[in-house]
Structure 1
Amino acid sequence: MSEQETFETYPDGMRDLIASRRRRRAGLVYHEGEALPPLDADLDALATRLVPDEDPAPLPPGHSSFARKRHELLPEFRGKPELCLLNALLIANLRKFTWPEQAPELFLRLWREKAGLLLEHLSSRWLISSIITYAEHGPTEADRRVGQSMNVLFSLMKLYEYERQYSGTPSEEPFRIPGRAKGPLPMNMLGFQIVGGDLEANLLLDIVEQALDAPDAGPLATALMDRLNRDSRNIFRRFALMRLRLEMMRVNRDETA
């Protein structure tokens, strides 16, 4: 057995990961006078009021973790409706182990009543964070299922696409067809056929079908899948381009045979 096979990525196994998550997910602390809006907040007012288009004032000494989080988020939403900032603050709370009582229902109310505005103004990053929030706080099993599936999809995509940048090949450029390194995949998984294979299509179709069944998270999930389909910098687009190249190579071989 080789040294690589005996080496463990996480020396203490999954227990390390669990302990790390518990440390990171301690609830935000609020000081007196600080709070999220109530569940019956006027969303129309928050939709028309804009986040100031200026740098936020420095935080006072001894500020709360909630104040720090809000201060960190303000620059991302300069000039956008305050509803977008509230969505981000709700997500920041709902990713912890504890949160203000009204936070889950207020998050769901935002997306039930103001999905159009949020889809218009939020970046893909915040749309992904929003759908992931449904994994734990969706009102139905179908909503939680599609939220979890998209959490796995986009988290693995982020890991893979970021590591791929170290290859020096731009994200929109497929790898060369010749010269593929030969060797086993992780855990001795089998490879698949680029032409004629349907692994990536079936992966996406499973999530599309889950989105159709999700009453609350479905429209957001569908919008994200549409964005993914139009994006040129991901593994699915590159496989589509590689498939076209391989098909053209086969046609040319047949014509010259």
Structure 2
Amino acid sequence: MTQQTYPGGSEALIALWQQRRGALGMAAGETLPLEADLAALARQPLPTELPPLPQKGSAYAKKRRQLLAELAGQSELALLNALCIAHLRRRRFPPEAPLLFHRIWEEQGDSLRGTLSTRWLISSIITFADHGRTEPQRRLGTSMNVLFSLMKLYEYERLHSRFEPDRAFGLAPRAKGPLPMGMPGFSLMSGELDVNLLAPIWAEALEVPVAGPLACQLLERLNGDSGTLFRRLATMRDKLRARRAAEEGE
């Protein structure tokens, strides 16, 4: 039998995934403030000192304290957004979690897009995949989830090449061998796989309310980042075009 990357196939893989999606338990009196004044929370900075954690604190209390440390210097609104996301990644969550998440992005999206780190913008957009109000929001969230998750996997693996992220590979003859699963090759000069991947996502983002502006901001950041696969391919393409132009001019 052919060796599997994930022994047990779909059944084992899904079971592992579900293990990590247990509910974020809350103690009596712990709630998400559905009717909170979000504009006021956007102006209120997080405390500089972490509160003590009770010995028998709930999973929610522990997560909240962890997020307080991670989001130091941000606002109470950023914390509330992160807590909603933490709940919505689980199989079960408080009924107010999706309602509050949508209130946050419908009413304070401009504020958060201007202050959140890329990490939290990505976490926010992929939450729309399962919890968007509309099918276009859910579809856009899913596309962005696949895009950034695969980028993160690929870019992490590439670090083991010891090449810096903004250093493109050379144009010397590449390793021989087929692409996995019998996929056809890619032409650096005339191939448009990168365009065919990004353009439809960006075109949809321009049309989708609430989630769309968030996705557009992330795509703009991707476009401006010198350390991505897309920039490295563009650099290699430019070098190859310059080389061929020089050869034709000789």
TM-score when normalising by structure 1: 0.95
Shift >4 Å, 4+ stretches = none
For residues 65 and 138 of structure 2, what CA distance do their matches in structure 1 show? 30
Q: Residues 77 and 85 of structure 1 are in contact (CA less than 8 Å); yes or no, is this contact kept in structure 2?
A: yes
The correspondence for 1:47, drawn from 39, 42, 48, is: 42
- 1:196 CA drift (Å): 1.5
- Matching of residue 85 in structure 1 with residue 63 in structure 2: no
* Matched letter for residue 31 of structure 2: A
CA distance in 1, matches of 2:58, 2:229: 41
Deviation at 1:179, TM superposition (A): 3.1
Counterpart for residue 207 of structure 2: 213
* SS of equivalent to 2:28: coil
Residue identity over aligned pairs, in percent, reads 52
Structure 1 residue 90: deviation in Å? 0.4
1:76 to 59, 62, 70: 70
Deviation at 1:48, TM superposition (A): 1.2
User: Equivalent residue for 1:137?
Assistant: 131
Q: Deviations over 1:136-156 (max 9, x none)?
A: 010110000000000000000
Give 1:165 shift: 0.3
Structure 2 residue 197 is matched with structure 1 residue 203: yes
1-structure distance, mates of 2:3, 2:207:
42
Q: Which runs of 5+ in 1 are unaligned?
A: none
> Could you tell me how far apart the structure 1 residues matched to 2:223 and 2:33 are?
36
Q: Does 1:163 pair with 2:154?
A: no
Corresponding residue of 1:7: 3
Query: Does the Cα contact within 8 Å between 1:87 and 1:110 map onto a contact in 2?
Result: yes
1:255 maps to which residue? 249
2:55 partner amino acid: P
What is the DSSP-based 3-state SS (H/G/I as helix, E as strand, rest coil) of the residue aligned with 1:20? helix
CA deviation string 1:52-101 (max 9, x = no partner) = 123x1341111100001111111122121110011100000001011111
Of residues 28, 31, 51, the one that matches 1:32 is 28
Among 46, 54, 59, the alignment partner of 1:60 is 54
8 A Cα contact 1:47 1:81, kept in partner: yes
**1:16 aligned partner, one-letter code:** A
CA-to-aligned-CA distance 1:36-64 (integer Å, 9 cap, x gap): 112x211122111110123x134111110
Q: What runs of 5+ residues in structure 2 fail to find an aligned partner? A: none
Q: Which residue of 1 aligns with 2:120?
A: 126
Q: Deviations over 1:17-39 (max 9, x none)?
A: 1111111111111111211112x
User: Hey, what's the Cα distance between the residues in 1 that align with 2:128 and 2:152?
Assistant: 19
Structure-1 separation of matches of 2:64 and 2:51: 12
Residue 235 (structure 1) aligns with: 229
| TM-score normalised over the length of structure 2 | 0.97
